[in-house]
């Protein structure tokens, strides 16, 4: 089978390519050039491209670099900046997966005659009765089904995830066995277009004017402090927020850039029972779930899934069975099957309430 492997320059995608070759597939590697600026973190640095190229040489396969810098700017960087400017907290890695790695790359693979696309994500694709399901990876600490929650049957049917059944230690062992230079390379942790040595604030200041804001107790109206960068505050955040006069910790409940006001409250005061979903982003892996379906909702990469009911009443939302800490607008909620908690049912971006 002819397989295009997305090679990021890390150990996971390197091993994925090596295993597919050993299985007898005709493998070609491809690295996406996404960020045109300076990068010292993530998966977009010059050294990552070089690592992928050298791994391909060791494996004896062709390697290509596809330039998607303009598309990355349009679909990932610009929405990230615009979201923060509006007081939201977008997830750029999920948008990169949606539009580029599982959008443009898949389209290109089809045009070039590849039957499958493979990546090094820690997740699994399981086929049942002719349908393909996205399932959590074997390694709970590394599971990446959350960032792949938007994949549909069409995409899943073309996707191979060769390391999804392995834990990270086993992947590194395989990398060393295959003689790959990336076998002990540290994992990427940060947003690739933000320099780790400078952080989000420096990046946002280079793109937009940032806003100072008063930090106000939402119950008493008392001003507890001030922030120079309201765009960096996110719902649920405690860091940088002073306790109230009662000594209790305060958490961000709302960020209002226009009024230069960040509302905070005690944990009990900020708990929520429902999460609004952006209908235009709502994607189901297969058939649309019905109004009233019970699901497990997860809204961070390694968060604990919460039982919820999916509703479609004057707009889509999920009704939580137990109150939970709030989730910021712009983040993603991934829906897992209640009866089989490892299976993904769909995903959506959180909308303003």
- What is the distance, to the nearest Å, from the Cα of residue 348 to the centroid of all Cα atoms in its chain? 12
Residues with a known catalytic role: 96, 192
Rounded Cα distance, 177 and 15, in Å: 10
Q: Are 215 and 264 in contact (CB under 8 A)?
A: yes
Contact (Cβ atoms closer than 8 angstroms) between residue 9 and residue 50: yes
E strands in the chain = 2-6, 26-33, 63-67, 116-118, 123-128, 131-136, 159-160, 213-217, 223-227, 251-256, 261-265, 272-276, 283-284, 294-298, 306-312, 316-324, 332-337, 344-349
Residue 319 near residue 311 (C-beta atoms within 8 A)? yes
Residue pair 351/335 in contact (Cβ under 8 Å)? The answer is no
- List the helix and strand counts (H, then E) for the chain: 10, 18
Residues 320 and 294: their CA atoms lie apart, in Å, by 10
């Amino acid at each position: 089978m002819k397989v295009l492997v997305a090679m990021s320059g890390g150990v996971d995608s390197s091993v994925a390519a090596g295993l597919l070759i050993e299985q007898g597939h005709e493998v070609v590697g491809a690295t996406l050039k996404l960020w045109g600026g300076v990068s010292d973190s993530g998966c977009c640095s010059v050294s990552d491209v070089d690592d992928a190229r050298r791994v391909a040489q060791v494996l004896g396969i062709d390697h290509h670099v596809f330039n998607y810098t303009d598309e990355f700017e349009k679909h990932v960087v610009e929405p990230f900046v615009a979201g923060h400017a509006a007081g939201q907290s977008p997830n750029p890695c999920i948008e990169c997966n949606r539009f580029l790695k599982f959008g443009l790359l898949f389209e290109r693979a089809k045009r070039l005659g590849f039957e499958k696309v493979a990546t090094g994500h820690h997740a699994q694709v399981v086929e049942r009765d002719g349908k393909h399901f996205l399932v959590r990876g074997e390694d709970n600490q590394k599971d990446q089904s959350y960032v792949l929650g938007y994949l549909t049957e069409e995409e899943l049917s073309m996707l191979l995830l060769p390391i999804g059944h392995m834990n990270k230690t086993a992947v590194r062992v395989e990398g060393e066995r295959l003689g790959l230079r990336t076998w002990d390379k540290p994992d990427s942790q940060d947003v690739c277009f933000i320099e780790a040595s400078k952080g989000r604030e420096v990046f946002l200041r280079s793109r937009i004017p940032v806003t100072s804001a008063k930090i106000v107790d939402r119950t008493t109206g008392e001003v507890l402090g001030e922030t120079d960068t309201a765009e960096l505050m996110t719902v649920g955040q405690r860091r940088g927020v002073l306790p109230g006069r009662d000594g209790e910790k305060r958490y961000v409940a709302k960020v209002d850039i226009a009024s230069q006001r960040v509302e905070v409250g005690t944990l009990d005061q900020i708990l929520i029972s429902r999460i609004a979903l952006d209908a235009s982003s709502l994607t189901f892996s297969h058939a649309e779930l019905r109004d009233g379906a019970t699901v497990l909702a997860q809204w961070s990469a390694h968060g604990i899934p919460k039982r919820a009911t999916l509703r479609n009443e004057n707009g889509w939302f999920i009704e939580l069975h137990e109150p939970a800490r709030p989730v910021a607008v712009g983040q993603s909620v991934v829906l897992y099957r209640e009866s089989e908690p490892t299976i993904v049912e769909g995903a959506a971006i959180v909308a303003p309430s």
